[in-house]
Amino acid sequence: MINVDITLNEEGRVTDIVMDGHADFAEHGSDIVCAGASAVLFGSVNAILGLTSERPDIDYDDDGGYFHVRSVDTNNEQAQLIMQAMLISLQTIEDEYSDFIKLNLK
């Protein structure tokens, strides 16, 4: 299962995201849940890097299965909007495939 831990501050702004695990919906290369969640996360991070002045701290496992984004400025409105859009997209995947992906808001 993919676990996505999302840390929010008191105002509901995203400060930290950790995506960990594998969906195991299908074999590697055919797993639409993994591909969808990865595309949402990578696309969102690329949008933050390409469209804002924000440069978050990123850690990841070269073999897949782990991605951590932190140090996102909670006052950067553009970056926060992208992060909120990412959460909605991940929630949509979770709604359809809850046996394979779980979002944990902290």
Q: Among all residues, which ones are annotated catalytic?
A: 22, 34
Cβ(21)–Cβ(4) below 8 Å: no
Long-range pairs of 23-27 with CB within 8 A, sequence gap ≥ 24:
23/97, 23/100, 23/101, 24/100, 25/97, 25/100
Q: At what angle do helices 32-51 and 77-96 cross, to 10 degrees?
A: 170
Given the DSSP bridges, would you call strands 66-70 and 57-60 parallel, antiparallel or unpaired?
Answer: antiparallel
